[in-house]
Amino acid sequence: MKILGINFGHDASIALFDGGSLVAFEELERTTRLKYHFGLRAEYVTNFLSRLGMTFANVELAALSGTQLWGMAHSDDICVDRGWTGAHAAYCEFYETWRQERFIDGAIVEPYFAEHTRIQGLDRLSPSPIRVKFDCSFLSGPSCEPAQVLELVNDLTHLTTDVQKQVKSNYFCPYSLTMGGVSKPAFYVEHHICHAYYGHYYSGSKDAFVCTHDGGFPAFPFVSGGIYLSQEDRGILPIVSHQLALGTIYDAIADAVGVGDAGKLMGLSAYASPSSETIRLVADCLDAFAQANVASPQAGLCVKDMIDFSGILTVVNALLTLSAKDQSLCSHAMDKFTFSMRDAQLAAQTASNTQFLVQTIFVSMLTRVARTIGDSFPNIQCLNLTGGFTLNCPTNSQLQQQCGHLHVNPLPAAGDTGLALGASAAVSDFLGIPLDRAIETAGNNAAFPPLPIAPRAIPPSRTEHVTRVGIEPSRIPEFIAERLGHGDVLCIHRGRSEVGPRALGHRSIIALAEREENRDRINFAKRREPWRPLAPLVRVEDFHDYFDGTVQMGRFMMFTVRVLNRHIPAVTHVDGTARVQCIDTSDCWLDPALRFLKRAGHHPVIINTSFNCAGEPIVETLDDAINSFLRMRLDFLVTESGIFSSTAASS
């Protein structure tokens, strides 16, 4: 069965499953060049399917998803209708669980993304369903008693197939999707179920549990995330709706202090130490969540009522107030850089306090549940993490330290870009289609099956702007090492791009990590804030010479580890940590290049940051790469079509 997965929300994406196997996947921002792309035009789907030799008529079923509380923005040649039709009956008999009163409509668009809809000419905003009642057992709130957790997990592992399907019917709402006069039955899949099924599908773990969390408001079950049981033959079953709002608090603080982006706030948190009173705030925050969870939400509650969540506002205001009166700043580090915030000291202290608060609460809650399950179910040895909060690398690292008995596994498409894949996997599982979970996960592969691409060649319009460097293909690794050793900064565009908000060597900017000035040059070229850290790349066999932790923590740049010496200042953050990536011999260019570096007497650690300018997505095509390369005025562009320098630099 051909199932088309679509995420209408921010970080929009499209996926195609056939018979339980992923055929192709596309992050729309990479092709539209709208960072965090939001919304859908029919032509995106048409082009996606056309490159696979298909049309929308060839699709049998659609799996839809989006951002919580938001509507589905689309062009007027797409029609998205809620409701059970005769076409759905062929796929599921549990239509009684989809009664209208179990849902409310999400129909907002955040101001930032209003510009996306304008640029794309999206004239429609179809409401998206938010389930307010689940007809299945689960625990609610961040404080779960061990006995309750064990009882529920034990019950879930003994459910009959029919009861499993009845439980899973809670995840879906029936829709119809029409394009070009062709209508297909569809299921809208609950946001965090998409995250959880992405983790279930991509990780390949036979028995695991999955925790999801992002910026959703915890007004209804699982809107801000949850903890789920993941089993090979059972798919995803719910354990805890944790009802946290840590991602929302983090986003609100980033806006309040003028950083504007949660990832930047994470980097800024290292410039101060947490205030002692944040320990009290942790307890107050948990109390606020608990009190907010007392009321049972009623169908018909409007979106405005859900957003007016006093507990979140109380915590945000308390963090700002505390940070203004009690500061412990790393002054020597702050004096090195220029900060654009109106009050950089307040911003740094607030960032540190916020990081401490969200990290402490999340790790405490999840560790308690993980140990409870692990002690009684020793076959469950993996904790998969998805949802935007998973991009908080210090929290992941602390969680791995506290859950040493488990493999903590934050996945590469943890953010909303993985929703289309998760929705397709969820619908496949629900329909009894076995999922082909044999994903190629060796090395640093964070890529999904790519769409067919055109032959790589320098576009004729660009030949006058770049000059080819005459290097034999066999000498490319040696050339890279030589240029890095001379202090050059290189852009890499090769193979298929990896999924997610970081580059792992296929769409990367690289430079020698032993030269601190390289950090400043790259940040300036990319128009990044000068105080923001850059990540290192190292071979597996050299990892322990420079970093603490384990090689496994360096697979997808999703953990921070301690730097062991002062030899690599360009990638050492002010708190002595780095978000490291490890590579092995499967990397045909960078692994031998690092070997040449080491033989030449350099430290075999390089900067690896995403190949893009600030405010734009990572480059996708060779034309994108040339545009960004010329704009940043870096030294060399290394591609599968050859190595190039800018004509201006060569003359």
- Measured CA to CA in angstroms, residue 573 lies from 430, 527, 544, 580 at distances of 45, 18, 18, 11
Cβ atoms of residues 176 and 184 within 8 Å: yes
Q: What is the DSSP string of 410-441?
A: E-TTTTGGGHHHHHHHHHHHHTT---------
Strands 21-27 and 13-18: antiparallel
Question: How high is the pLDDT of residue 560?
Answer: 96
Sort residue 33 into left (φ over 0), alpha (ψ -120 to 50) or beta. left
Assess if residue 444 is contained within a domain: no
Exposed e or buried b for every residue in 574-606, given b needs 16+ CB within 10 A? Answer: bbebbbbbbbeeebebbbbbbbbbbeeebbbbb
Domain count, the chain: 3
Domain co-membership, 139 together with 282:
no
Asked whether residue 74 is domain-assigned, the answer is: yes
What strands lie across the sheet with 407-410, from one edge to the other? 139-140, 235-241, 225-231, 207-213, 382-386, 407-410
- Evaluate whether residue 395 is within a structural domain: yes
Q: Kindly state whether residues 401 and 295 are assigned to the same domain.
A: no
pLDDT of residue 306: 33
The domain boundary, picked from 430, 446, 468, lies at: 430
Structural domain contains residue 454? no
Cβ 127 vs Cβ 69: under 8 Å? no
pTM for the whole structure: 0.93
Last residue of a domain, one of 332, 362, 392: 362
Task: List the one residue out of 269, 249, 194 whose CA is nearest residue 226.
Answer: 194
Residue 20 CA to residue 25 CA, distance in Å, equals 14
Helix (H, G, I), strand (E, B) or coil at 583: strand
Q: Which among 271, 247, 258, 92 is positioned nearest to 185, based on CA atoms?
A: 92
* Alpha carbons within 13 A on the beta-carbon side of 421: 35
Instruction: Specify the pLDDT at position 555.
Output: 85
Considering the domain boundaries, does residue 438 fall inside one? no
CB 548 within 8 A of CB 562: yes
Indicate whether 451 belongs to any domain.
Answer: no
Q: Quick check: 381 and 403 in contact, CB under 8 A? A: no
pLDDT under 50: residue ranges of the chain: 294-308, 441-445, 452, 455, 651
- Residues 193 and 300 placed together within one structural domain of the fold: no
| 15 burial level (CB within 10 Å; 0-12, 13-18, 19+) | buried
Q: Please tell me whether residues 125 and 137 are part of one structural domain.
A: yes
Is position 465 within any domain?
yes
Positive or negative: CA dihedral 221, 225, 229, 230 = positive
- Within 10 angstroms of residue 111's Cβ, the number of other Cβ atoms is 7
Give pLDDT, residue 501: 87
Give 89-139 pLDDT, tens digit per residue: 888 876 666 677 788 888 889 889 999 999 999 999 999 999 988 989 999
**What are the pLDDT digits (tens) for 177-188?**
999 999 999 999
User: How many CA within 13 A on the CB side of residue 636?
Assistant: 22
Based on the domain organization, do 399 and 535 belong to the same domain? no
Q: Can you give the CATH number for the domain in which 510 is found?
A: 3.90.870.20
Per-residue model confidence (pLDDT) at position 309: 57
**Cβ neighbours of residue 330 under 8 Å, at least 6 residues apart?**
270, 271, 272, 273, 348, 574, 575
Q: For residues 274 and 179, state if they share a domain.
A: no
In 3D, which of 15, 1, 3 has the Cα closest to residue 413? 15
Sorted by sequence, the CB contacts under 8 Å of residue 509 that are 6+ apart come out as: 489, 490, 491, 492, 503, 522, 526, 607, 608, 609, 610, 611, 632, 634
Same domain, 133 and 182: yes
Residue 262 shares a structural domain with residue 200 = no
Here the tokens at position 95 are 């239509």
Residue ending a domain, choose from 362, 389, 415? 362
Q: Are residues 483 and 585 in the same domain?
A: yes
Amino acid letter for position 10: H
Does a structural domain hold residue 100? yes
DSSP sequence for 340-375:
-STTHHHHHHHHHHHHHHHHHHHHHHHHHHHHHHHH
Q: Are strands 577-578 and 561-562 parallel, antiparallel or unpaired?
A: antiparallel
Residues 353 and 228 reside in one and the same domain: no
Helix or strand run (H / E) with residue 609: strand 605-610
Residue span of the structural domain in which 615 resides: 460-650
Is the domain of 19 the same as that of 114? yes
Query: What was the pLDDT predicted at 141?
Result: 84
The answer on 301 and 420 residing in a single domain is no
